[in-house]
Amino acid sequence: MADKSYFILKQIMEKIALDIVGLSYSQTQSGAYALVLGEQDGNRRLPIIIGAFEAQAIAIELEDMTPSRPLTHDLFKSFANSFKINIEEVLIYNLMEGIFHAKLICRQGESLVEIDTRTSDAVALAVRFKCPIFTHEFILKEAGIIVEEGADSDSKPAAKTPKSDKKGVASLSLTELNKKLEIALDTENYEEASRLRDEINKRGESNN
């Protein structure tokens, strides 16, 4: 009986690797965004509602944008690097009353420390430290959803405006787009910057 209990506990606590597969406007909460994590070796998705600031922090790093001044998560990374602290992994370890709980697994030399954090902040740091994101089976069973192949293609990136708002940028030349992109980055208007970057990238792909 003890062996069976150990096997069940091991299954529950086994870590499952996740990737970021979507970042879109929340359809249920105004002003919020849905961060969608997907298991690497399966078709389950874990949707997590996060705030606009954290969504932008994740989107900026994913899209290789460089803010004119460091954001909070960039500052944290610079601080950690200065003291030779590395985040080795992020673990979403619990789900209570609809709230996900995460922690950072940090290493400084021989010391390994776990730090509790909001899941949105943990993911924003994970993309900066290029570290893996994990969760447990029981969390995916409770909050995960199964999607068909290709279903993630409809997700809209968080820092982008709807297609109906993109008509203006289509009439701009590439030079004008790049100039506006510089201004948007300097003024920290990341939604506009992301929209402009999309248009520039789209034109670059069409010319290849």
For residue 149, the model assigns a pLDDT of 63
Render pLDDT for 17-72 as a digit per residue (tens, 0 to 9).
999 998 988 776 778 899 999 999 899 999 999 999 999 999 999 988 888 889 99
The model's pLDDT over 133-167, given as tens digits with 9 standing for 90+, comes to: 999 999 999 999 887 665 554 443 433 333 333 34
Q: Are 53 and 129 in the same domain?
A: yes
How far apart CA 13 and CA 154 sit, in angstroms, is 32
Q: Are residues 34 and 50 in the same domain?
A: yes
The torsion region of residue 105 among left (phi > 0), alpha (psi -120 to 50) and beta comes to: beta
Q: Residue 121 has which token pair?
A: 């902040």
Is 2 domain-assigned?
Answer: no
Of 169 and 84, more confident: 84
SS3 for 122-154, per residue?
HHHHHHHHCCCEEEEHHHHHHHCEECCCCHHHH
Question: How high is the pLDDT of residue 103?
Answer: 97
Residue 128 shares a structural domain with residue 206: no
Number of domain units in the chain: 2
User: What per-residue confidence (pLDDT) applies to 177?
Assistant: 85
CA proximity to 125, closest of 140, 96, 98, 105: 105
Q: Within a domain: residue 108? A: yes
Beta-carbon neighbour count of residue 196 at 10 Å? 24
Instruction: Calculate what percentage of the chain has a pLDDT beyond 90.
Output: 51
Residue 74 has pLDDT above 70, yes or no: yes
Question: Is 4 part of any domain?
Answer: no
pTM of the prediction? 0.72
Going from the C-alpha of 186 to that of each of 32, 57, 80, 95, 120, the distances in angstroms are 25, 16, 25, 39, 25
Which tokens in the block code for residue 141? 């069973």
In a domain, 54, yes or no: yes
Per mean pLDDT, which range of 122-126, 170-174, 204-208 is the poorest? 204-208
Assess whether pLDDT exceeds 80 at residue 83. Answer: yes
Contacts of residues 186-191 at CB distance under 8 Å and 24 or more positions apart, as own/partner, are 186/68, 187/68, 188/67, 188/68, 188/69, 190/56, 190/59, 190/60, 190/65, 190/67, 190/159, 191/56, 191/159, 191/160, 191/161
| Contact criterion met (CB below 8 Å) for 94 and 139 | yes
- Whichever domain contains 105, its CATH number is 3.10.690.10
Dihedral over alpha carbons 14, 44, 99, 101 (to 10 degrees): 30
